[in-house]
């Protein structure tokens, strides 16, 4: 798929390296494997949404007014656990409704170092399973796993708005929540034969409204932990076409990262255009493993 504001990067030649995951990244997190209901980036992208706070009608991104971020639909207080007192923002890439709102999502927004489309439609498998459906399903599963550990989880959208939010608004939601960690969930849309996952890290960017100096190092720590746990839990290998076999890729052209003031990464869970990866991405059991892998990385980062 294509991440929210992704533009396929120019291939970077170089030696292929072995994964550089830290020991902490490979540590096993104590997470339950319980699933949850629900139904994803690097070429053009798509995305799902977050559950809005009760009583808040989903405002239109074109109105210029930020929408209320989605909180958990769970009733009652969160259980106490190792992540009690921590706030995590989950950003399901794209929105299933984006394809019906091309004018709105093609509008330009400021990403700090320039201007870019509000959002994109995302990719899909050859059978038509949309990235936006994938990202929303994995994000909901991830929310459940983190809440079981006591974390306060906010989704940028939960299928509760007609399109968007725009990439700049997605960043603002994490900033406003003063999140301890933000993870944007995606699936790629590259060529057949390109397989595996990768985690996108923010580059050092300073210009316009963007200044990532304070989040580059903690975001890398978060990304390495997620990558290591993703390998362990899902059995998937790091991307064979991005990141030199490390599973890590640094980008300076994504508004969702450039405008963030809190640690944030993107996770491209696999390539929807490759038949073997697509078979995994469309399997509910594997999507639960993907959520567990991401949750383990977030948990390890927050408990360090």
Query: Residues of 252-285 as b/e, b for ≥16 C-beta within 10 angstroms?
Result: bbbbbbbbbbbbbbbbbbbbbbbeebbebbbeee
> Is 268 among the catalytic positions?
yes
Q: Please provide the DSSP assignment of 215-282 as one string.
A: THHHHHHHHHHHHHHHHHHH-PPBPSSSSTTSSEEEESS-HHHHT-SS-EEEEEEEETTSHHHHHHHT
Alpha-carbon distances of 30 from 33, 149, 203, 289, rounded to whole Å: 10, 9, 31, 14
Q: Say how far apart CA 237 and CA 270 lie, in whole Å.
A: 10
Q: Say how far apart CA 80 and CA 95 lie, in whole Å.
A: 32
Round to the nearest angstrom and report the end-to-end CA distance of the chain.
32
Report yes or no: 235 and 195 within 8 Å, Cβ to Cβ: no
Nearest one of 286, 282, 252, 284 to 266, comparing CA atoms = 252
Q: Say how far apart CA 273 and CA 213 lie, in whole Å.
A: 35
Strand partners, 131: none
Strand partners, 92: 185
Q: Which of 104, 131, 268, 276 is catalytic?
A: 268
Q: Say how far apart CA 3 and CA 266 lie, in whole Å.
A: 8
Report yes or no: 229 and 24 within 8 Å, Cβ to Cβ: no
Residues carrying an active site annotation: 268
């Amino acid at each position: 798929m294509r991440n929210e504001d992704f533009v396929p990067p120019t291939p970077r030649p170089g030696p292929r390296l072995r994964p550089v995951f830290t020991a902490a990244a490979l540590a096993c997190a104590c997470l339950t494997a319980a699933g949850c209901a629900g139904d994803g980036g690097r070429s053009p992208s798509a995305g799902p949404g977050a559950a809005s706070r009760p009583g808040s009608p989903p405002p239109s991104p074109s109105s210029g007014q930020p929408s209320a971020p989605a909180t958990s639909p769970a009733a009652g207080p969160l259980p106490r656990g190792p992540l009690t007192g921590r706030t995590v923002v989950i950003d399901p890439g794209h929105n299933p409704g984006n394809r019906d709102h091309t004018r709105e999502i093609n509008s330009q927004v400021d990403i700090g170092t320039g201007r870019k489309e509000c959002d994109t439609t995302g990719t899909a498998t050859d059978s038509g399973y949309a990235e936006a459906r994938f990202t929303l399903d994995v994000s909901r599963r991830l929310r459940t796993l983190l809440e079981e550990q006591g974390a306060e989880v906010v989704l940028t959208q939960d299928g509760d708005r007609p399109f968007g939010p725009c990439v700049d608004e997605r960043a603002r939601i994490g900033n406003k929540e003063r999140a301890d960690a933000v993870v944007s969930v995606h699936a790629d849309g590259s060529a057949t034969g390109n397989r595996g996952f990768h985690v996108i890290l923010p580059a050092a960017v300073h210009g316009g409204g963007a200044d990532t100096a304070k989040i580059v190092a903690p975001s890398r720590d978060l990304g390495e932990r997620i990558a290591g746990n993703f390998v362990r839990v899902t059995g998937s290998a790091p991307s064979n076409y991005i990141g030199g076999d490390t599973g890590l890729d640094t980008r300076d052209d994504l508004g969702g990262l450039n405008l963030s003031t809190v640690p944030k990464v993107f996770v491209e869970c696999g390539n929807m255009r490759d038949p073997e990866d697509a078979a995994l991405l469309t399997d509910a059991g594997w999507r639960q493993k993907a959520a567990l892998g991401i949750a383990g990385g977030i948990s390890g980062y927050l408990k360090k």
